[in-house]
Amino acid sequence: MIEIKNISKHFGKLEVLKQVNLHFSKGECVALLGPNGSGKTTLVKSILGMVLPSSGEIFFDGKSIFKDWHYRENIGYMPQIGRYPENLSIGQVFDLMQDIRRDFKGEKDRELIQSLQLDTMMDKKMRTLSGGTRQKVSAALAFLFNPEVLFLDEPTAGLDPESSLILKSKIIQAQQSGKLILITSHVLSELDQLVNRIVFIQDGNILFNDSLEELHLFSGKTNLTEAIAHIMKNRHG
């Protein structure tokens, strides 16, 4: 589905990604983890076409993304902080996105709009919304066009417990239906229930890339937070 071959990225003299090689397949739910400044954000933005790597290639369904930008129509992206026109209502934001994607011929996925009760507040202006409600809007937009791939950046940040459970259930459902899901999060305790593979990035290198089960065996720890702490401690040691 997504193949990353020898990706490197320099910002001036700073090398942010160093010969990164990864492969993501349909039906996976993968956590992209790493400390601040590790390179994971640059990696995600490279896959999304927001950053041009200094060298290497990225393939989506066997085609280089540098030659065909239409692949992004198959990706749903939930940013950590959703930025929308403040003067628009929630309903107008959804209308705007659907107008931008007017060529979309598939069936829209409106489940989150209803289950997160956004359908009851479509007239509310974006400038009046809490951070949690903005997260709900971002989540519903990410799933709306039924994409093959979902990038979710800190998806449960700011959500109340009920909404967090609804979104996690939706993520599991999407993974079980064969979608590829990539998640970045600092709330590691929640990822134990969602992901089946861990990619840990540090200093632009892939430090760990294996199943959640292998991570627990490798570290000797029973939960993700302790396992990641173990890897980082040994790396610095």
Average pLDDT over residues 147-159: 93
pLDDT tens, position by position, 12-50: 989 999 999 999 999 999 999 988 889 998 999 999 999
How many domains does the chain fold into?
A: 1
Average pLDDT over residues 145-157: 94
pLDDT cut 70: percent of the chain above it: 99
Domain with 182 in it = 2-236
pLDDT range class, residue 227, cuts 50, 70, 90:
confident
When computed from its CA atoms, the radius of gyration of the chain, rounded to whole angstroms, is 18
Flag whether pLDDT at 121 surpasses 60.
Answer: yes
Most confident range, picked from 68-72, 111-115, 191-195: 111-115
pLDDT range class, residue 68, cuts 50, 70, 90:
confident
Q: What is the CATH number of the domain that holds 105?
A: 3.40.50.300
What's residue 235's pLDDT? 64
Closest alpha carbon to 118 in 99, 131, 137: 137
Both tokens assigned to 201 = 């990035």
Whether residue 8 contacts residue 193, with contact meaning beta carbons closer than 8 Å, is answered with no
Flag whether pLDDT at 237 surpasses 60.
Answer: no
What's residue 222's pLDDT? 83
Question: In the beta sheet, which residues pair with residue 205?
Answer: 202
Rounded Cα distance, 118 and 216, in Å: 38
The edge-to-edge listing of strands for the beta sheet with 55-60 is 14-24, 2-11, 55-60, 63-64
Handedness of CA 216, 221, 225, 229 (dihedral sign): negative
